[in-house]
Amino acid sequence: MPIDALLFDKDGTLFDFAATWGAFGRAVLLRLADGDETRAAELGQVIGFDLANSQYSEDSVVIAGTVDEIAEVLLPHLGDVSRDELVGMLNRESAQAPQIPAVPLTAFFEELRNSGKKVGLATNDGEMPALEHLASVGIRDHFDFVAGYDSGHGFKPGPGQLLAFSEHVGIDPSNIAMVGDSLHDLEAGRAAGMTTIGVLTGLATAEDLAPMADVVLPDIGHIPGWLAEN
């Protein structure tokens, strides 16, 4: 089936995961620990983050989890901090995190739009930070649809965000590709009946993604060439 629309994950897909979120993770944990590096390192272990090296483990809740899920893991270790306070802080801090594009994004999305493709974003981040991140690199206006975990469509690996995009742009799921760096993204794509494209700008390997991917590419910049050949 021809691909008439593409739905992208954000972190690890549009933006290089390690380059973008390593420094952010360290800064947030130190803030939660009131600057105590030992305490921050202990909190890092809770969410699968190596404070000393600013690196996430492959099974870290941060990689594919929602902000609510990250907060739920941290809350038992934070004393009298409320869930709403923590979620609000995480959303505010993540919205301000400098984003490191995986490829030159403006040219990439201009090429897609000029070819007539509809474009969307489905992220397990919050909608507000997602919009801030797109705007920060000048690509917000290239998107027909943006959904976070809190936009009312559920979150990945469920297919709700993906089916909402399909309905919004009026294109059948079989003519849409879901693009992501994690199994959550690709599982959601399979559940929605979409083509699945894995990319290697997150922490997952090609071997990790292959069982759920129709194709695994080094990064999103290879998508136009792949579409031209298929």
Q: Using one digit for the tens of pLDDT, what is the confidence trace for 102-148?
A: 999 999 999 999 999 999 999 999 999 999 999 999 999 999 999 99
CA atoms within 13 A on the CB side of 215: 16
How far apart CA 117 and CA 223 sit, in angstroms, is 12
Residues 210-229 have a mean pLDDT of: 97
Q: What percent of the chain has pLDDT over 70?
A: 100
pTM of the shown model: 0.87
What's the farthest any 2 CA atoms get from each other in the chain? 56
Q: Does the pLDDT at position 96 exceed 90?
A: no
Residue 124 neighbours by CB under 8 Å, 6+ apart: 64, 65, 66, 148, 149, 155, 156, 184
Q: In what order do the strands lie in the sheet with 145-147?
A: 145-147, 118-122, 5-8, 176-180, 195-199, 215-217
Whether 138 and 106 have beta carbons less than 8 Å apart is answered as yes
Residues 29-34 have a mean pLDDT of: 93
- Residue 210 DSSP one-character state: G
Chain centroid to CA 213: how far? 17
**Confidence band (pLDDT; 50, 70, 90) for 1?**
confident
The pLDDT of residue 198: 98
User: What torsion do the CA atoms of 57, 217, 210, 202 make, to the nearest 10 degrees?
Assistant: 10
Q: Does the pLDDT at position 13 exceed 90?
A: yes
- Residue 110 DSSP one-character state: H
